[in-house]
Structure 1
Amino acid sequence: MIQPDVVTAFTAVRDINLDEPGTPQAETKAATFKSASSSIYDLAASMSAKGQLWNWGVHDSEFVAEIEARLPGFTEYGTDGFSEQLYYLALRDLPKGLESCDGRTVLEVGCGMGEGLNFLSRLVPTARMTGLDLAPKAIASATATLSRGDTLRFVQGDAEELPFEDSSVDVLVNIESSHTYPNLGRFLREAARALRRGGALSHIDVFTRQRLEAMRRITTEIPELKWVSDHDISDQVRAAVRRRMPPDSHLRSTLNKQRMNRLARTLALHSQITVFGGTFADYQPPASVKMLSRLGLVPPMDSLPMETYRHQIAVRV
């Protein structure tokens, strides 16, 4: 049976990305959605294994080689490495690359269970990194398993009301999270407020046509942020997603180790492939899942028409 919060969250994400942000319709849905979204990520935190990252990822052999040079043995971490490559990209393309973070304050907004930021803290061990997420249990899990004093810490909070002082952050990272924010403009203004002059925002996310148009309009309304790059990385994302689908993939091998019946395994695989961007990479669910979806027993996770996945960088002026 589908949990009510799941239906609420997926319906709201669709509305957020197809409605005009800031309209009365969008604002009315915001509080309900945030509560449902927080509940879902708290549930994910209780089910996730240590080291598991939750995003679509990218695949680029050049990124793999560069990460391996900085972190020998990276390819033997026990993950498929696609999420780590996405996090690496978030810092790699900053104006000064990873050196932008040396000895600096780095904030990830929307850190989930914290594994992505934990990976970045290994890439740049001299940085002071903080992860923020709306879901309290996800933050509690990250704090209990990953925090390391001032080097890596986690706080619970809202992306649209950042609990940080003005000009207190050098680099702000936001990865595959802002498409769930009811008010994108409010988040970007908060990012501009929290960043020090000369600091950088690395923003990575997937967009519907409507959301991208809204993003581009909003960026013209925030003069404190100078956008210096906007790259379409859809092909690299699709390359990662498609590598998670075959029977011998890390994702499917991990699922095969879990004890469950055939239908449960099919549904679990469908859920994970869809969550990890399957529809964006032309994934088609099996007939059994389509039937259950028609009966309302599977949430409409594949109904959002995402068109492009982008990496955008802004400098605080």
Structure 2
Amino acid sequence: MKSASSSVYDMAAILSGRGELWNWGMYDPDLAAGIEARLPGFTEFGTDGFSEQLYCLALRDLPDGLDGCAGRAVLEVGCGTGEGLNFLSRLVPGARMTGLDLSPKAIARAEATLARGESLRFVHGDAEKLPFEDSSVDVLINIESSHTYPDPGRFLHEAARVLRPGGTLSHIDVFTRQRLRTMRGLTGKMPQLKWIGDHGVSGEVRAAVRRRMAPGSRFRRTLDRRRMNPLVRAVATHGRILMFGGMFGGMFAGYRPPASIKVLGRLGLVPWMSGLPMDSHRHQVAVRV
């Protein structure tokens, strides 16, 4: 499972462009205004701002907030190509940020294009066996990543191990009903982590997906410029391929493809991804005891 996941994200690292989709994103006008106040014009070049809002949420709702992260060691587990952590390094200057990912291609790309000494660096590694010393991290964030881990309990134990006493874990992910029950069962068995926050952001995430997929959006214009085979381009013209499956959150936002698209997907002619029915998107916060 880990090998397959690494291969998928290796390919994503090779094919994706700078500033492109990092996660499903969220839409909250007040949150966007707060980012704009810190980084004026942050949506003017190559981004729609939805992914940034989800990253901002990961730090804003911590006990010490955004400003409390300045000067601290921040680790993102599952950083992908590093675009999200790069954004946070500009939002909270002065923090020492490290990104870790299972994909060697993603880490190589992040190191080559984004790394800035001790203020922003990237390392290859496994979320279930973090290559960091005990009590060496002040803030650990994990965004839309842990649902791919074979043993999420092991990840939580590793997060608790590397966090300093009083350090915080900010966990944002999409859940099936069964996985949410499993997650809550795991958290109840870990006295070293005190969970202080667990709230849903499903409405905000669905709003971002719908805006991202709307006719004329930046994301759709980007996809329309890409080279596609004639069949895929024909489907894309009608706005259907843009909302496929779990990859872009289309199913979570309520999109249901017509029967013809399902048939093309089963034939492998369009990248239809059905996946498991995701029930909620949540932000959970814990403090290391």
TM-score (norm. length: structure 2): 0.94
Counting helix residues as a fraction of each chain, which structure ranks higher? 1
Deviation of 1:260 after TM superposition, in Å, equals 2.9
Match of 1:276 in 2: 248
Deviation of 1:290 after TM superposition, in Å, equals 1.4
1:307 corresponds to which of 276, 279, 287: 279
1:122 equivalent in alignment to 2:93: no
Residues 73 and 138 of structure 2 are in contact (CA less than 8 Å); yes or no, is this contact kept in structure 1?
A: yes
CA RMSD of aligned residues (A): 1.6
Matches within 5 A, 1:53-202: 53-202=21-170
Structure 1 residues 14-62: Cα deviation after superposition (integer angstroms, max 9, x where no partner): xxxxxxxxxxxxxxxxxxx100110110111110111223210000100
Deviation of 1:214 after TM superposition, in Å, equals 0.5
SS at match of 2:140: strand
1:220 corresponds to which of 188, 198, 219: 188
Residues 53 and 115 of structure 1 are in contact (CA less than 8 Å); yes or no, is this contact kept in structure 2?
A: no
Residues 74 and 97 of structure 2 are in contact (CA less than 8 Å); yes or no, is this contact kept in structure 1?
A: yes
Note closer, same or farther for the CA distance 1:74–1:300 as it changes in structure 2 (3 Å cut). Answer: closer
CA separation in 2, counterparts of 1:300 and 1:273? 6
Deviation of 1:302 after TM superposition, in Å, equals 1.6
Note closer, same or farther for the CA distance 1:286–1:247 as it changes in structure 2 (3 Å cut). Answer: farther
TM-score (norm. length: structure 1): 0.86
The answer to which of 87-96 and 268-277 deviates more is 268-277
CA separation in 2, counterparts of 1:286 and 1:255? 21
2:267 corresponds to which of 295, 301, 304: 295
Deviation of 1:117 after TM superposition, in Å, equals 0.3
Report percent identity of matched pairs. Answer: 70
CA separation in 2, counterparts of 1:39 and 1:269? 26
Structure 2 gap segments, 5+ residues each: none
CA separation in 2, counterparts of 1:129 and 1:233? 25
CA separation in 1, counterparts of 2:37 and 2:69? 18
CA separation in 1, counterparts of 2:17 and 2:267? 31
SS at match of 1:279: coil
1:233 equivalent in alignment to 2:201: yes
What count of residue pairs does the alignment treat as equivalent? 285
Residues 56 and 83 of structure 1 are in contact (CA less than 8 Å); yes or no, is this contact kept in structure 2?
A: yes
CA separation in 2, counterparts of 1:224 and 1:181? 21
Residues 20 and 46 of structure 2 are in contact (CA less than 8 Å); yes or no, is this contact kept in structure 1?
A: no
- Whichever residue aligns with residue 48 of structure 1, its letter is S
CA separation in 2, counterparts of 1:300 and 1:251? 18
CA separation in 2, counterparts of 1:136 and 1:269? 32
Match of 1:285 in 2: 257
Match of 1:252 in 2: 220
Note closer, same or farther for the CA distance 1:192–1:232 as it changes in structure 2 (3 Å cut). Answer: same
Deviation of 1:244 after TM superposition, in Å, equals 1.7
Structure 1 residues 202-251: Cα deviation after superposition (integer angstroms, max 9, x where no partner): 00000011110010010011111000010110000000011122221111
SS at match of 1:283: coil
CA separation in 2, counterparts of 1:259 and 1:300? 18
CA separation in 2, counterparts of 1:261 and 1:158? 36
Deviation of 1:100 after TM superposition, in Å, equals 2.6
CA separation in 2, counterparts of 1:144 and 1:180? 26
Deviation of 1:163 after TM superposition, in Å, equals 0.3
Note closer, same or farther for the CA distance 1:97–1:191 as it changes in structure 2 (3 Å cut). Answer: same
